[in-house]
């Protein structure tokens, strides 16, 4: 009598390995919701800007992010605060986030809008995001220096940290004087 179990297990195991794992996009909040969270009871007006090659390069040097910044998702409040929506690559997929910047250039808060990665979603948790509050372009805003890493989410942590740095540089270079 022959035992077919090992072959059946191997065939089943191989079939299961060929099934693609599909990451589901998790939408944490919309831009409107992020506006209300970061700027409660404040009116925001859309204030897109043109991102010159020089400005793009300044942000790239400060943050090491190669993905170009789009200047069309920027809002301003009457008191000179700003809401900037940006995207960075997590490990493989894009992470969309919003940063609130006060009139003095300090980070008021960071909200994750959309996260597609299968791992590293811990960056959306409030305790990790609170590390950015009060930071400005004058601060290092570097992972493992003034921003703590989350094990298992290193690339998401690094890229979001670099993204917040580039947003603070954008404020200093282009929005502060507006």
What predicted TM-score, i.e. pTM, was given to this entire model?
Answer: 0.86
Q: What own/partner pairs with CB < 8 Å and gap ≥ 24 does 86-93 have?
A: 86/163, 86/166, 86/167, 87/163, 88/159, 88/160, 88/162, 88/163, 89/159, 90/115, 90/116, 90/117, 90/120, 90/155, 90/156, 90/159, 91/117, 91/119, 91/120, 91/155, 91/156, 92/117, 93/23, 93/117
- pLDDT tens for each residue of the chain, 178 residues long: 555 455 544 544 544 455 554 555 789 999 999 999 999 999 999 999 999 999 999 999 999 999 999 999 999 999 999 999 999 999 899 999 999 999 999 999 999 999 998 889 999 999 999 999 999 999 999 999 999 999 999 999 999 999 999 999 999 999 999 8
């Amino acid at each position: 009598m022959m035992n077919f179990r090992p072959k059946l297990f191997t065939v089943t195991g191989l079939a299961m390995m060929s099934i693609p794992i599909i990451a589901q996009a998790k939408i944490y909040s919309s831009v409107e919701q992020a506006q209300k969270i970061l700027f409660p009871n404040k009116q925001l007006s859309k204030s897109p800007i043109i991102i010159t090659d020089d400005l793009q390069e300044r942000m790239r040097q400060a943050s090491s992010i190669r993905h170009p910044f789009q200047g069309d998702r920027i809002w301003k409040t009457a008191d000179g605060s700003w809401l900037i929506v940006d995207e960075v690559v997590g490990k493989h997929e894009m992470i969309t986030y919003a940063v609130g910047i006060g009139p003095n250039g300090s980070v008021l808060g960071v909200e994750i809008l959309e996260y597609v990665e299968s791992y590293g979603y811990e960056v959306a948790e409030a305790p990790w995001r609170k590390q950015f509050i009060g930071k400005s372009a004058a601060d290092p805003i570097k992972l493992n220096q003034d921003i703590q890493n989350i094990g298992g989410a290193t690339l998401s942590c690094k890229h979001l940290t670099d993204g917040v740095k580039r947003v603070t540089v954008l404020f200093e270079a282009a929005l502060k004087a507006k």
